[in-house]
Amino acid sequence: MPSENLVEIRDLNFTYDVRPVLQGINMDIPRGKVVAIMGLSGCGKTTLLRLIGGQLKPSQGAAKVAGQTVHELDSDALYRMRRRMGMLFQFGALFTDISVFDNVAFQMREHTDLPESLIRDLVLLKLEAVGLRGAHDLMPAELSGGMARRVALARAIALDPMLIMYDEPFAGLDTISLGVIGNLIRHLNDALGATSIVVTHDIQESLKIVDYVYFMSEGRVIAQGTPAEIRAVDTGFVRQFVHGEIDGPMPFHYPGATYAADLALEAVHA
């Protein structure tokens, strides 16, 4: 019987050269759920996605997907697993020289032997799911930021993946597009019976759609819980992050001497 968790991360450490990036990460991503990984830029969120996808290997510990330890897989097994993963990159990362249709069809042509007539039907189905079937002949340069993100989402679900990973899916979007992308992440996950990991620092939009949250800071998990539990945290960095407070554990002022001391020093040298 398969585990209730599609992704399991245990005691995971990762170091670039001698700089520790991730330290002792433990996470469970249940099947069928949408889980957010939140934190400031540079805290290790995207590195964690790369470890789950097998682009990087951990220094210690392991990431398991569907019961398989990712860094132990040989090339053939890793590519088979990746075909069951979808990835929405920051800002979409569409192929700029081919049409919307061909962007979504790319994986189907690359990884299946489906006839072109069936690929056409499937591409239009995926684009219909994100509301852009009518835009299938457009080029990426003709799309707004929100439309490009939706096309990238259609491409990410092209092969009906078991796991969909989103790297900052809300970055640079207007308020309407934010709501559209958030609803699509939730509804497509549920419709496909998939599991989703959303890496983001957009707290308000994410808490509307996710089932569980992990908060990271300086390469460690410092808090976790349901959206309601995260909103109720009343101390420390998590509160500052959730409520957008200017000052707190992440200080407004860069460390240094007091302003009065600097003025006094200036007077001495005047």
pLDDT for the residue 244: 58
Residue 86 inside a domain? The answer is: yes
116's tokens: 């072109």
How many helices (H) does the chain have, and how many strands (E)?
10, 10
The pLDDT confidence band at residue 1, using thresholds 50, 70 and 90, is low
CATH of the domain at 205: 3.40.50.300
pLDDT for the residue 6: 94
pLDDT for the residue 252: 46
Residue 102 inside a domain? The answer is: yes
Cβ atoms 51, 70 nearer than 8 A: yes
**Residue 267 and residue 269: Cα distance in Å, rounded?**
5
Work out how many domains the chain is built from and give that number. 1
| Range with the poorest average pLDDT among 2-11, 26-35, 120-129 | 2-11
Residue 196 inside a domain? The answer is: yes
Q: pLDDT tens digits, residue range 220-252?
A: 898 898 988 888 777 666 666 665 555 555 554
Residue 57 inside a domain? The answer is: yes
Of the candidates 162, 250, 253, 173, the one whose C-alpha atom is nearest the C-alpha of residue 205 is 173
Residue 244 inside a domain? The answer is: no
* pLDDT surpassing 70 at residue 267: no
Cβ atoms 230, 238 nearer than 8 A: yes
153-156: which pairs have CB atoms within 8 A and are 24 or more residues apart?
153/88, 153/181, 153/184, 153/185, 153/188, 154/104, 154/123, 154/126, 154/127, 154/129, 154/130, 155/94, 155/103, 155/104, 155/106, 155/107, 155/126, 156/86, 156/87, 156/88
Using alpha carbons only, give the angle 78, 81, 87 rounded to the nearest 5 degrees: 105
pLDDT for the residue 33: 94
131's enclosing H/E stretch is none
pTM of the model: 0.84
Domain that holds residue 117: 5-232
Residue 72 inside a domain? The answer is: yes
Question: What is the biggest distance separating any 2 CA atoms in the chain, rounded to whole angstroms?
Answer: 82
Residue 256 inside a domain? The answer is: no
Q: pLDDT tens digits, residue range 34-63?
A: 999 987 776 778 889 999 999 999 999 999
Residue 190 inside a domain? The answer is: yes
**Residue 5 and residue 28: Cα distance in Å, rounded?**
6
Mean pLDDT, to the nearest integer, of 94-119? 90
Q: Which DSSP category does 254 fall into?
A: P
